[in-house]
């Protein structure tokens, strides 16, 4: 394979030079962070009073962690470190509790972020001849404008279609010859089901690639989307606190996500002890943003679970690769004492070919026990009134799940297209248990 690089020197920088660059950037961002009362206090307590107190990269471990809670407490301007009139944009994520966290960008911050998104897009093999349909929510969510600017920087023709309205999406794809799309994996699955429903012929589309991210999905889901749509799907990871998309991205080898280490320092820690895990093991990802001046965030606890690949990538990039993010420390379900991540269920059901593209996990209390129900759609062409094969399928799903997750679930089969669909991040879990238990 011939690999293309957006910035060959930076992407293939020898590790020692990359780390020297990181140290230099870390010192700069610590100096910026010290302008905010929050970091003045936090860093001061850790004995860091100016940038020169950071002498080596290992000194990052002296920097205290920052949590979502800290960001909420600082709403709206607690983390702003440049004069307000230098800020040109904000993005916000509402999170589950409703208190937003806000990130500010100055002109250079937007340019640096755009550059990382462009680099990510280019790493998948796209170039200026591509037509890019950005089928994700625009607005305060970073996925829309982040990819929009990155796509323009690559020189692609960008169609800002936004999420939803599949009929219009197909029309745009056909009218303009869309070659690459961006969406959440759940919306891509929905698009595929709708394509069959509306009789849109695959041959009428010029699609080659998709960027899929903003929510966890399994390798089987990726393969399913690729096989159904005859495209290559690239995993895209990011979070608002670290600008948005363009933090880590798969290259043409599609084997792990390169984290752009000239923009971010990544650590993997044990979420209980907060100590680093041995190289290659899974833990919580902690990120320091080196590339944004207006809202510096140091050692942010992402809650996302992943680990580093220990082998270098065959593409020649020296930036380390993260494993597919399997879930978050805070979406773990405990069912009758057994720890379970929704991604484990997805992995099992998406590997069964008769299962359709959408599913829902419901947890309830039945007496003193927890009850897990997995609702899945069946694939198109499977008829709901044909009970014998349906019962056999149900039993197969139940048994496979039970052997993999050690919990005996109830399985419900639903007609294709009948479970609720989300245009953005999918809500796959309904935990109906009373909150005080």
Cβ–Cβ under 8 Å, residues 213 and 244:
no
Task: Output the smallest distance, CB 90 to ligand DLL, in A.
Answer: 13
Instruction: For the segment 193-222, give every residue that binds ligand DLL (CB under 6 A).
Output: 213-216
DSSP 3-state of 304: strand
Cβ–Cβ under 8 Å, residues 385 and 415:
no
Name 82's Cβ contacts closer than 8 Å, sequence gap at least 6. 104, 106, 293, 294
Name 378's Cβ contacts closer than 8 Å, sequence gap at least 6. 354, 355, 356, 384, 390, 393, 413, 414, 415, 416
Q: Is 409 in the site for ligand DLL (CB under 6 A)?
A: no
Of residues 25 and 186, the one with the C-beta less far from ligand DLL: 186
The span of 229-237, 368-376, 384-392, 428-436 binding ligand DLL (CB under 6 A) equals: 229-237
Per-position x/- string for 349-368, each x denoting binding to ligand DLL as judged by CB under 6 A, each - no binding:
--------------------
Of residues 324 and 398, the one with the C-beta less far from ligand DLL: 324
Among 4, 12, 93, 422, binds ligand DLL (CB under 6 A): 93
Among 143, 256, 342, 409, binds ligand DLL (CB under 6 A): 143
What is the full DSSP assignment across 312-375? PPTT---S-EEPPP-EEGGG-EEETTEEE-HHHHHHHHHTSTTEEEEEEEEEEEETTEEEEEEE
Q: Is 342 in the site for ligand DLL (CB under 6 A)?
A: no
Report the DSSP beta bridge partners of residue 327. Answer: 305
Distance CA 327, CA 341 (A): 7
Name 342's Cβ contacts closer than 8 Å, sequence gap at least 6. 216, 327, 331, 333, 361, 428, 429
Of residues 116 and 237, the one with the C-beta less far from ligand DLL: 237
Of residues 151 and 244, the one with the C-beta less far from ligand DLL: 244
Q: Is 302 in the site for ligand DLL (CB under 6 A)?
A: yes
Class of residue 264 by CB neighbours under 10 A (exposed 0-12, middle 13-18, buried 19+): buried
Q: Is 236 in the site for ligand DLL (CB under 6 A)?
A: yes
Cβ–Cβ under 8 Å, residues 416 and 378:
yes
Of residues 33 and 239, the one with the C-beta less far from ligand DLL: 239
Closest listed residue to residue 372, CA positions, set 409, 324, 347, 413: 409
Among 22, 221, 240, 358, binds ligand DLL (CB under 6 A): 240
Among 125, 238, 356, 409, binds ligand DLL (CB under 6 A): 238
The span of 74-82, 239-247, 271-279, 289-297 binding ligand DLL (CB under 6 A) equals: 239-247
Q: Is 251 in the site for ligand DLL (CB under 6 A)?
A: no
Distance CA 22, CA 159 (A): 35
Q: Is 328 in the site for ligand DLL (CB under 6 A)?
A: yes
Task: Output the smallest distance, CB 71 to ligand DLL, in A.
Answer: 11
* Binding positions for ligand DLL, rule: CB under 6 A: 93, 142-143, 213-216, 235-240, 244-245, 302, 304, 325, 328
């Amino acid at each position: 394979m011939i690999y293309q690089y957006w910035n060959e020197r930076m992407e293939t920088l020898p590790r020692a030079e990359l780390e020297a660059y990181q140290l230099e950037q870390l010192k700069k961002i610590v100096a910026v962070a010290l302008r905010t009362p929050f970091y003045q206090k936090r860093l001061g307590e850790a004995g860091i009073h100016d940038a020169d107190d950071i002498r080596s990269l290992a000194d990052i471990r002296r920097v205290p962690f920052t949590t979502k809670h800290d960001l909420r407490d600082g709403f709206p301007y607690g983390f702003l470190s440049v004069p307000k009139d230098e800020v040109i944009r904000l993005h916000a994520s509402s999170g589950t509790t409703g208190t937003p966290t806000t990130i500010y960008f100055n002109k250079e911050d937007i340019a640096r972020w755009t550059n990382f998104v462009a680099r990510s897009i280019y790493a998948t093999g796209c170039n200026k001849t591509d037509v890019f349909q950005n089928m994700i929510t625009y607005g305060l969510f970073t996925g829309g404008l982040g990819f929009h600017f990155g796509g323009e920087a690559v020189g692609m023709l960008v169609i800002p279609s936004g999420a939803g309205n599949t009929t219009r999406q197909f029309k745009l794809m056909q009218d303009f010859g869309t070659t690459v799309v961006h969406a959440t994996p759940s919306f891509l699955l929905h698009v595929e089901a709708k394509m069959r429903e509306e009789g849109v012929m695959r041959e009428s589309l010029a699609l080659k690639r998709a960027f899929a991210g903003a929510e966890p999905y399994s390798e089987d889901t990726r393969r399913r989307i690729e096989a159904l749509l005859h495209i290559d799907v690239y995993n895209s990871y990011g979070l608002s606190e670290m600008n948005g998309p363009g933090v880590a991205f798969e290259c043409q080898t599609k084997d792990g996500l390169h984290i752009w280490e000239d923009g971010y320092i990544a650590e993997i820690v044990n979420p209980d002890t907060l100590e680093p895990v041995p190289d290659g093991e899974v833990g919580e990802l902690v990120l320091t943003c080196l590339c944004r001046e207006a809202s510096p965030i140091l050692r942010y606890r992402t809650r996302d679970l992943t680990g580093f690949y220990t082998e270098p990538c065959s593409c020649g990039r020296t930036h380390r690769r993260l494993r597919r993010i399997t879930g978050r420390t805070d979406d773990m379900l405990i069912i009758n004492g057994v720890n379970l991540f929704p991604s484990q269920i997805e992995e099992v059901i998406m590997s069964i070919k008769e299962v359709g593209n959408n599913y829902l996990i419901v947890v309830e209390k039945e007496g003193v026990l927890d009850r897990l129900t997995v609702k899945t759609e069946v694939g198109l062409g499977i008829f709901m009134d044909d009970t014998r094969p349906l019962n056999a399928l149900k039993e197969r799903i139940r048994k496979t799940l039970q052997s993999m997750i050690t919990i005996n679930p109830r399985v419900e089969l639903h007609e294709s297209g009948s479970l609720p669909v989300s245009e953005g991040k999918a809500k796959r879990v309904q935990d109906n248990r009373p909150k005080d238990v």
